[in-house]
Amino acid sequence: MKIYATIFLIFLTLLSCKEVSNESDNAFAKAETENKEAQEIYASYGEKISAAGAMTKIEISEKYAALAEGDTAVVKFEAPINDVCASKGCWMRLDIADEEQVFVKFKDYGFFVPTDTKDGNAVVEGKAYLEEVSVDELRHMAEDAGKSKEEIAAITKPERELRFMADGVLIKAD
């Protein structure tokens, strides 16, 4: 009788080891598939970042509302792309709230995004801050955006602007 019990226990042990092995293989395969899907969804620019933990556009809007002139906040958020520098992709504007946009530049002028990037979503990671933008810079940006001479000439006052210096950018691929 003892021999049958021993054989039965050995059989159960082998069976349970096989199930644990299959579960870990399945978990590994699932993680690998999710990683490949994440890589396929986003095009990456600048430093390597992930979309995990990104704030929503509502959360980043609230964060900017709490900033004072001279404050910075290191954050990551996702928002729709409104505009990109048509000249070389050296900046973009992201929509974060009712007619509120964040002007995004890229750290050390070290990378650019495609100039035809519009109507998509971006995840950016870096520093959020407020800045008063001079008339000259506003005109330069308007020129980069392809605005008419009349629209550029109509810029006569500096503006307080929500700014962001991105270390890395992810843009959702089509």
Rounded to two decimals, what is the model's pTM?
0.69
Contact 100, 138 (CB under 8 A): no
5 has a pLDDT exceeding 60:
no
**What pLDDT is stored for residue 64 in this prediction?**
93
Quote the tokens at residue 156.
């006569």
For residue range 109-162, what is the model confidence (pLDDT) as tens digits? Answer: 999 999 888 778 999 999 999 998 899 988 988 888 788 999 999 999 998 899
Q: Are strands 100-106 and 159-172 parallel, antiparallel or unpaired?
A: parallel
8 has a pLDDT exceeding 60:
no
